[in-house]
Structures are given as C-alpha cells and as structure tokens.
Homo-oligomer: A and B are copies of this chain.
Amino acid sequence: MQKQADQVIQALQTKGLRVTPQRFAVYANLLARADHPTAEEILSDLNQDAPTSSQATVYSSLHALQTAGLVREVFLEEGVCRYDANVAPHHHFQCKACGKIEDIAWELFQSVDLQNLRSGLKAEGYEVTVYGSCDACTRENR
C-alpha cells in the first residue's frame, strides 16, 4: 500500500509538479502517522527539531500532493481540514470524545447499494463514517 519513493516522484512529475524536499517531507510525515493530522500538526511536527517548512509551504505542498493524487482531505469536524495519505477508498471511524480518526477497511461495508437512490442523482461513490469511542476514551470516560 505504501508508495515507493520513485512512485511519489513520478506521481508529482506526471502532473508537471516539481519534487522538492518540503513536499517529500510532508508526504513522509503523513505516511508515518497513523492519525489524520491537520496542516498545523504536520507543520509543527516537521519543525520540531529544526525548522524545515513554513506554514504556507505546508499548505501548498498538501495541494500539490493532492493534485498528484497522493493525498486527500477529510472533513469530519468543524473548522479544520485533515489530511490522509491513504487515497484508496475506505471508511472512517471518529472518536466522539478525543476526535481521533481511524481508517476502516473498505471491505467492511461493501453492502451499500447505490441503486436505490432517488432517480436523478448520479452516484459516483460513497463513504461511511462511524462515530463512537476509541479504546483509550472508553477506558477513561466510560
């Protein structure tokens, strides 16, 4: 599932986008994380040791990676936009308590039948969002 370095380079170049250290760093950070960080979280993570990117660059890198089809946005809460290096179709679980987001394998909810939609609507895809409580929050809060 994880893309090789040269696949990443290709994906960018195919779209006429340059391969820069910043873009690589943003993508690597996104791959290394299990969660779905916000732009700010990526920024502070990258600059933790040494400053490597400015905030404007993180945003533009994320846009570049999106057009390259390497990254996508996830909107599950107000105000912030989260990013996901998993571009294959899949579902999401979000913990109502801590807000953490976890991927759910696509195969788990294949049963959705888009044929029954109101005629006139042309469905192209779907996604299930499950809300609940994660391990840690279930233990702590009950």
Q: Could you tell me which A residues sit within 8 Å of B by CB distance? A: 73, 75-79, 81, 93, 96, 102, 104, 108-109, 111-114, 116-118, 120-135, 138
The answer to whether A117 touches B128, judged by C-beta atoms less than 8 angstroms apart, is no
Identical copies in the complex: 2
The answer to whether B117 touches A93, judged by C-beta atoms less than 8 angstroms apart, is yes
| Nearest-Cβ distance from residue A119 to partner chain B, whole angstroms | 9
Q: Pick the contact of A133 from B124, B128, B135 — CB < 8 Å?
A: B124
Q: Pick the contact of A96 from B124, B128, B133, B138 — CB < 8 Å?
A: B124
| Nearest-Cβ distance from residue A100 to partner chain B, whole angstroms | 10
For the complex, give the distance between the alpha carbons of A127 and B132 in Å: 12
Which residues of chain B have C-beta atoms less than 8 A from A112's C-beta?
Answer: 109, 111-112, 128
The answer to whether B132 touches A124, judged by C-beta atoms less than 8 angstroms apart, is yes
The answer to whether B129 touches A127, judged by C-beta atoms less than 8 angstroms apart, is yes
- Given known contacts A73-B78, A75-B75, A127-B128, A134 and B111 CB-to-CB distance under 8 angstroms: no
Which residues of chain B have C-beta atoms less than 8 A from A126's C-beta?
Answer: 128-131
For the complex, give the distance between the alpha carbons of A129 and B114 in Å: 11
